[in-house]
Amino acid sequence: MHTVTLIGSNRTLNVGKIVCLGRNYLDHIRELNNEVPDAPVIFCKPASSLLENNGKILIPAYSDDCHHELELALLIGEKGKQIPEADANNYICGYAVALDLTLRDVQARQKEKGLPWEIAKGFDTSCPLSRFVCADQINDPDNLRLSLKVNGQLRQQGNTNMMMRSVARIVSEISGFYTLEEGDIILTGTPAGVGPIVSGDLLEGEIEQVGQLRVSVA
Ligand code: MG
């Protein structure tokens, strides 16, 4: 069983599903020449994909092109289905810095064949995650600067105010497809600047008020 703990509380949650939103920042959609979606683009990672702070990323042998995607992660604190957008923030108990690691070559092959992407997105260590801070420590989740450095060089920089879907809308829409349960995690999409990582790289992600994530590639 995978668990996460909220900083500053004694609360430990068992991780359920990890639901990820794709194509939520216009600048990232443009850099990959994707279409702007009408409906949310959603996929899941298994809990076995989690990697703790200071962990080592293991790029699978079936890929030569693993990309970083820096994202704000939400932790769901209580069960809900078809949650109205106006109530959605009450279901979030924590925020963390996450990476949605993606095997871009495998994903491209799967897309071309019209097949699911899971093997490009859900491999072991594909979801590095910082510790979660309590939601009440965050003033406005829709206005947080985020940045990622690889080996000290800035690769991704943005603000959650650039997201096409707000945090509340994301929770509301996902809860229309899946019942959200305590311990579920949601990844909210990545800004522009995604790129490859290779063995020995050090990745340092930071989100204002939320914290830092530091992992390296084995
Ligand atoms: Mg992503």
For 38-71, write each residue's pLDDT tens digit.
889 999 999 999 999 999 999 999 999 999 999 9
Residue 211 has pLDDT above 90, yes or no: yes
d(CA 189, ligand 1 centre) in Å: 5
Q: What is the pLDDT averaged over residues 25-29?
A: 89
d(CA 20, ligand 1 centre) in Å: 7
The dihedrals phi and psi of 13, each to the nearest 5 degrees, come to -120, 140
Beta-bridge partners for 116: none
- What is the model's pLDDT at position 9? 86
Residue 74 has pLDDT above 80, yes or no: yes
As given in the structure block, the two tokens for residue 21 are: 């939103």
d(CA 190, ligand 1 centre) in Å: 5
User: What residue segments make up the domains of the chain, in order of their start?
Assistant: 3-189
- What is the model's pLDDT at position 36? 86
193 pLDDT band, cuts 50/70/90, is very high
The dihedrals phi and psi of 167, each to the nearest 5 degrees, come to -55, -45
d(CA 96, ligand 1 centre) in Å: 15
Q: How many CA atoms lie within 13 A of 185 on its CB side?
A: 34
Between CA 159 and CA 22 the distance in angstroms is 16
β-pairing, 70-76 vs 127-129, is unpaired
Give me the residues near ligand 1 (ion), CB cutoff below 5 Å: 69, 100, 190
- What is the model's pLDDT at position 37? 87
pLDDT (tens digit per residue) in 118-137: 999 999 999 999 999 999 99
The overall average pLDDT reported for the chain is 96
Are the C-beta atoms of 186 and 100 separated by less than 8 Å? no
- What is the model's pLDDT at position 38? 86
Residue 146 has pLDDT above 90, yes or no: yes
d(CA 40, ligand 1 centre) in Å: 12
- What is the model's pLDDT at position 1? 74
- What's the pTM? 0.97
d(CA 28, ligand 1 centre) in Å: 10
The one-letter amino acid at 52? E
d(CA 162, ligand 1 centre) in Å: 15
% pLDDT > 90, the chain: 91
Residue 117 has pLDDT above 80, yes or no: yes
CATH number of 3-189: 3.90.850.10
- What is the model's pLDDT at position 183? 98
d(CA 205, ligand 1 centre) in Å: 14
- What is the model's pLDDT at position 8? 82
d(CA 70, ligand 1 centre) in Å: 7
